[in-house]
Amino acid sequence: MIFQNTINFAKQLDLQDVLRKYKEEFIFPTVKGKEVIYFTGNSLGLQPKRTKSYVDEVMKDWAELAVEGHFYAQKPWWDYQERFATPLSKIVGGLPNEVTVMNTLTVNLHLLMVSFYRPTISRYKIICEEKAFPSDQYMLQSQVRFHGYEPNEAIVEIKRREGEHNIRTEDIIAKINEIGGELALVLIGGVNYYTGQVFDMKTITAVGHQVGAIVGWDLAHAVGNIKLELHNWNVDFAAWCSYKYMNSGPGNASGCFVHEKHHANKELPRFAGWWGHNKERRFKMESEFDPVQGADGWQVSNLPVLTLAPYLASVEMFDEVGMEVLINKRDRITAYLEFVLAEIGKEVSGSFEIITPISPEERACQLSVFLHGEGRELFEYLIENGVIVDWREPNVIRLAPVPFYCSFEDIYHFGQILKKGILKKAH
């Protein structure tokens, strides 16, 4: 399609958008009495309007039933998490018994590493990407220290080549093969939070397995954003947060994936807890742990139902639409954003360097834009004028036109506001 940077063209694209009605399903903040243009769903998604009814239902059941709500609530609390199994498995490309929800993201990665990072004298190294999200860096450092290793010896970061913004797949493969028999674990973010690069998870997982390593993924920026096939890719484990593209609310519950090939392995260590015990015998209060067969067997505590209610509201919305429809719009609206940035750059003689890969196979809903010659002043201008974007030092803004609630008209108006901000600074 040949794009045009005009309001009429943007409106025409919106008329063709099968998801356009879903924008009305979300609550937008306002600036100066107008709804904002929201490009930070890669950090915190907007609140779906339906969320309140899901939370109110739990509050009503708690008020009217108290402890009996565990078994007699409209959605009984004792198996509340099981409602996620089928819809969430479609989103991540797993089997229903391979997914569960519990805790928060870094907590779950720590718990999963109890099972899947089992270093030996000869095989103890972990591969991750350079400039991984800081929480992952801290988590990995603490894990290797817990096992008696120094991070600079046990953690191997895949680096970007000089002058490049993204990591080449061939460099990851080469490093995996180089470390070979010393490699215990590959743990990378499926989508890099800073650049928005989507990694070739299928290939990397296969290569990791070829050298005898376990392969896991932090999917915080991937779930609800890209097509995943965790089961078919033979991924060992994965975890993700739910408050970015999944719109479940700040700091909300995490999802986990454990491939079914590990479910029957009772020798696999884990930190056990009551809610991971055999569901049919859970309330017999037995002294010996008998794990649930499936990812639910990694649960520790009973679930925070008030936390899960907003997540369920969002997951069921995803199930209504399907990832294929979301991805189709994602690709078109991201391409339109790229086009508008280029057009505005011509009009103001600006230099917007997109550091996210250009290839649709290597990017998703985020464009990270290096603003040459611009600084935080431009970012603040955008915020003051109702465009909510994300700033990363030294002068990168991250833009995420989430397909559920961003429109093509939003993209056009953003371009005009961006142009005014640059011209204002010039004068």
Q: What is the pLDDT of residues 42-74, one digit of tens each?
A: 999 999 999 999 999 999 999 999 999 999 999
Q: If you classify domain 75-321 with CATH, what class do you get? A: alpha beta
Q: Please tell me the predicted confidence (pLDDT) of residue 376.
A: 82
Q: Please tell me the predicted confidence (pLDDT) of residue 96.
A: 98
Q: Give yes or no for residue 423 having a pLDDT over 60.
A: yes
Q: How far is 28 from 53, CA to CA, in rounded Å?
A: 18
For the stretch 347-364, pLDDT in tens is: 887 667 899 999 989 999
Q: How far is 192 from 392, CA to CA, in rounded Å?
A: 13
Q: How confident is the model at residue 426 (pLDDT cuts 50, 70, 90)?
A: low
Query: Quick check: helix, strand or coil at residue 257?
Result: strand
Q: Please tell me the predicted confidence (pLDDT) of residue 46.
A: 98
Q: What percentage of the chain reaches a pLDDT higher than 90?
A: 84
Closest CA to 167 of 128, 222, 219, 215: 128
Q: Please tell me the predicted confidence (pLDDT) of residue 377.
A: 87
CATH of 7-49+322-426, one of 3.30.70.100, 3.40.50.10490, 3.40.50.2300, 3.90.1150.10: 3.90.1150.10
Q: Please tell me the predicted confidence (pLDDT) of residue 422.
A: 87
Q: Please tell me the predicted confidence (pLDDT) of residue 287.
A: 87
Q: Please tell me the predicted confidence (pLDDT) of residue 113.
A: 97
Average pLDDT over the chain reads: 94
Q: 357: number of CA atoms within 13 Å, CB side?
A: 19
Q: How far is 214 from 237, CA to CA, in rounded Å?
A: 9
Q: What is the DSSP letter of 93?
A: T
Residues of the chain with CATH 3.40.640.10: 75-321
Residues of the chain with CATH 3.90.1150.10: 7-49+322-426
Residues 6+ apart with CB under 8 A from 9: 3, 412
Q: How confident is the model at residue 120 (pLDDT cuts 50, 70, 90)?
A: very high
Q: Please tell me the predicted confidence (pLDDT) of residue 350.
A: 65
Q: Please tell me the predicted confidence (pLDDT) of residue 427.
A: 55
Q: Please tell me the predicted confidence (pLDDT) of residue 290.
A: 86
For the stretch 243-285, pLDDT in tens is: 999 999 999 999 999 999 999 997 899 999 988 888 888 878 8
For the stretch 142-160, pLDDT in tens is: 999 999 999 999 999 999 9
Q: Please tell me the predicted confidence (pLDDT) of residue 232.
A: 98
For the stretch 175-223, pLDDT in tens is: 999 999 999 999 999 999 999 999 999 999 999 999 999 999 999 999 9
